[in-house]
């Protein structure tokens, strides 16, 4: 969350900037969304008609400027301010309200937050309250359901599981894991005294994006034959080429 203090003339631009940031964030996480312009409640509210008209018009202008998908929520604003509520659509078609952008003309007045304008007079600031995720815990919970726990490479807690095929490959597996970690990849080496099939099953259940099973043949050639979750077995490649692949995929947020 954050609060932005600005002048009335700057309001539409500031809201547009928040919408741009929100759009980048939500699309990075793979969401489609709809914006709801929530206007003055029909019951109790505070502030003058002019203030509500001005704030609502600024929000509408910012939405229209960005050509964002939007719907009206007449009377759905907070008692003190109009707002843009953003509802995400998850993989099951359910909608969840998460980000919100509010224009608050009340608190600056109550706390006497002012600035000196070009006319050398004092003016009240306009406050924009932005919550890009909504509740962090709620956003994370929704995202886990949205992805089924299968996070993209850039977000996965463990990006690569390195599994030795047999005891002869323990040193090569450990060295491969060390190389990946030094290259900035979140890699874990499974050195447990378990059967190979059990280690592979555990990595699949943990939904690790990349699995690398190495044996004496890979150790001799200095290569790896990675398996990408959802794509299957990939062609053998050098460890450096694999490192660059994972780093590139992480950087591209793909």
Query: pLDDT tens-digit profile of 89-115?
Result: 998 899 999 999 999 888 898 899 999
Are the CB atoms for 187 and 177 separated by under 8 Å? yes
Q: Which regions of the chain carry the CATH code 3.40.50.800?
A: 160-251
The tally of CA atoms less than 13 A away on the side-chain side of residue 55 is 29
Quote the CA–CA distance of 70 and 59 in Å, as a whole number: 11
Q: Domain 160-251 carries which CATH code?
A: 3.40.50.800
Q: Which regions of the chain carry the CATH code 3.30.930.10?
A: 2-147
Are the CB atoms for 183 and 190 separated by under 8 Å? no
| Structure tokens given for 109 | 């007045």
Fold classification of 2-147 is BirA Bifunctional Protein; domain 2 (3.30.930)
- pLDDT at residue number 254: 66
State CA 228 to chain mean position distance. 22
- pLDDT at residue number 26: 94
Which segments of the chain have a pLDDT < 50? none
pTM of structure: 0.84
Per DSSP (E only), the strands in 80-214 are 83-89, 95-104, 114-116, 122-124, 126-131, 160-164, 187-189, 210-214
State CA 97 to chain mean position distance. 15
- pLDDT at residue number 53: 93
3-class SS of residue 123: strand
Residues ≥6 apart with Cβ < 8 Å to 195: none
Burial 145-177 (b: 16+ CB within 10 A, else e): ebbeeebbbbebebbbbbbbbeeebeebbeebb
Mean pLDDT of the chain: 93
Quote the CA–CA distance of 239 and 187 in Å, as a whole number: 13
């Amino acid at each position: 969350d954050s609060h932005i203090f600005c002048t009335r003339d700057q309001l539409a631009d500031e809201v547009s900037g928040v919408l741009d940031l929100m759009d980048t964030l939500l699309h990075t996480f793979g969401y489609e969304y709809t914006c709801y312009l929530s206007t003055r409640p029909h019951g109790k509210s505070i502030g003058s008609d002019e203030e509500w008209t001005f704030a609502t018009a600024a929000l509408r202008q910012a939405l229209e400027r960005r050509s964002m998908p939007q719907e009206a929520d007449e009377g759905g604003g907070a008692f003190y301010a109009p707002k843009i509520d953003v509802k995400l659509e998850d993989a099951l078609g359910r909608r969840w309200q998460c980000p919100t952008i509010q224009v608050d003309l009340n608190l600056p007045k109550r706390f006497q937050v002012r600035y000196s304008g070009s006319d050398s007079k004092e003016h009240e600031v306009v406050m924009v309250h932005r919550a890009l995720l909504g509740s962090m815990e709620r956003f994370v919970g929704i995202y886990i359901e949205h992805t089924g726990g299968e996070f993209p490479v850039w977000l996965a807690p463990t990006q690569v599981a390195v599994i030795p095929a047999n005891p002869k490959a323990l040193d090569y597996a450990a060295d491969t894991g060390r190389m990946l970690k030094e290259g900035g990849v979140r890699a874990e080496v499974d050195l447990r005294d378990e059967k190979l099939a059990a280690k592979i099953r555990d990595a699949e259940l943990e939904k690790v994006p990349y699995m690398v099973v190495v044996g004496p043949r890979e150790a001799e050639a200095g290569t790896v034959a990675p398996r990408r979750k959802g794509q299957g077995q990939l062609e053998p490649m050098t460890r450096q080429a694999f490192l660059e692949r994972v780093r590139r995929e992480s950087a591209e947020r793909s």
